Amino acid sequence: MTLAKIAGLAACLAVGAPALATAGATPHEAVTEEDGKFFNAEEMPTFMVLEDGTVDWYTFSGFRRYHAECHVCHGPDGQGSSYAPGLASSVMRLDYFEFVGIVASGYEKGNSVMPAFGTNRNVMCYVDDLYVYLRAVGSGAIPRGRPANRMDKPESAIAFENDCMG
C-alpha cells in the first residue's frame, strides 16, 4: 500500500462502525468502535480509557510511536521542549485532518519548522495512533508516562501494519 493510499484511507476508516453511545458526547469521547479502533461523533479516530486506566491498543501504539519519532523534538509526552512546541495541548485545537496534513506536509511559521513526514512509514502508518495518543494526553484522560495497561492488539491492526509497512 502506498503512503498516498494510507492518507486517503484515514478519512474512510469509520464507515460502518457500530454505535456505542452518542448523547452529550464530547469531541474526544468514543461513540463507535470497529475492530478495537474507536471513533468520536464526527467519525474521527479517538481513544478509549477504561476505569482501571487500561488504554486501547491504538493509544498505546501512539505512545510508543510518539516516543520513537516525535519525542526528540517535542519532548516527553507531547509537553514540548526548548526546541519545539508541546503537541498534547496544540492537538486539542486541531481537527484530525489538520493534524494529518501537518504531519504529512510539515509546518513552517517564522523560525518554527517541522519537516514533512509524508514519506516516512514509521510515522504515516501510525498517524492515527499518534493522534489518539496526543488527544488522550492533551485531554487529561491519561497521565504522562507509559500507559500501565493496554488492550490486546487487534488482528485488523496487525493486517494493516503488515500491509502499510510492506
CATH classification of the domain holding 130: 1.10.760.10
Count: domains in the chain: 1
1: which DSSP letter? -
pLDDT at residue 7, rounded to an integer = 40
Please report the pLDDT score of residue 6 as a whole number: 40
pTM listed for this prediction: 0.83
Place of cell 502499510: 164
**Burial class (CB within 10 angstroms; exposed 0-12, middle 13-18, buried 19+) of 8:** exposed
Tell me, what's the pLDDT at 110? 85
Q: How far apart are the first and last CA of the chain?
A: 7
Residue 114, domain extent: 3-165
Residue 23 has a pLDDT of 47
The pLDDT, as a whole number, for residue 25 is 54
Q: What angle do CA 42, 158, 123 make, to 5 degrees?
A: 65
Q: What's the confidence (pLDDT) of residue 146?
A: 95
- Rounded to an integer, what distance in angstroms lies between the CA atom of residue 72 and that of residue 80? 10
Quick one: cell of 77?
Answer: 509526552
Q: Extract long-range pairs of 100-109: CB within 8 Å, 24+ residues apart.
A: 100/7, 100/10, 100/127, 100/131, 103/127, 103/130, 104/7
Asked whether 71 and 65 are in contact (CB, 8 A), the reply is no
- The predicted structure's pLDDT at residue 115: 94
Ranges in the chain, pLDDT < 70 = 1-26
